[in-house]
Amino acid sequence: MKPTLVRPSGVERTFSEGELIVTKTDPRGVITYANDVFLRMSALTEEEAVGQPHSVIRHPDMPRAVFKLLWDTLKAQNEIFAYVVNLAADGAHYWVFAHVTPSYDSAGRVAGYHSNRRVPSRTAISAAEELYGVLRAAERRHDRTPDAVAAGEEALIRILAERGRTYDELVWDLA
């Protein structure tokens, strides 16, 4: 299992454009499958990854509002694309362009989630870092987590309105 407190080292890890990071989770976000690229990038073994919540790789620089949007979208049984910075077990970080989609059982119920991640462009990373900085600043003005998430969400809604874009349009603009 990953140590409970991993501090970001500032070291960025990358993977090649021809590689995909793949994970599958149960409906609660607990990892049920991780491919070798995920294991290499996260600095986790299969035994350390499988059975852990996907948040095991959550980087503290990721705005909480983005994860709220991700879970709200998935719970509505829709797919989502997002730029995410992850924290490896050794403190390194890595950026991904994630595509997360619900998986269904034979009765049509959500059985879990499937995520493929690709290497994002440096331009997209820079734009995501700028956007996420604004969202984090809004979130950090609040001590209570629910208030912080709401503030980040409000900041994102405001930015989208100012740009005349939906979230999906913004993500694809960066791609």
124-159 pLDDT tens trace:
999 999 999 999 999 999 999 999 999 999 999 999
Stretches where the chain sits below pLDDT 70 are 1-4
Number of independent structural domains in the chain: 1
Element (H, E) at 47: helix 46-49
Say if 7 falls within a structural domain.
no
Say if 33 falls within a structural domain.
yes
Say if 4 falls within a structural domain.
no
In the prediction, which pLDDT does 4 show?
A: 60
| 49/79 Cα distance (integer angstroms) | 23
Specify the CATH number for the domain of residue 129: 3.30.450.20
Say if 143 falls within a structural domain.
yes
In the prediction, which pLDDT does 3 show?
A: 46
State percent of the chain over pLDDT 70.
98
Task: Residue 34: give the domain boundaries.
Answer: 21-174
Q: How far is CA 56 from the centre of its chain?
A: 11
Say if 30 falls within a structural domain.
yes
State the CB neighbour count (10 A cutoff) for residue 34: 23
Tokens found for residue 118: 């690709």
Phi, psi of 115 (to 5 degrees): -130, 130
Say if 1 falls within a structural domain.
no
Say if 107 falls within a structural domain.
yes
Say if 117 falls within a structural domain.
yes
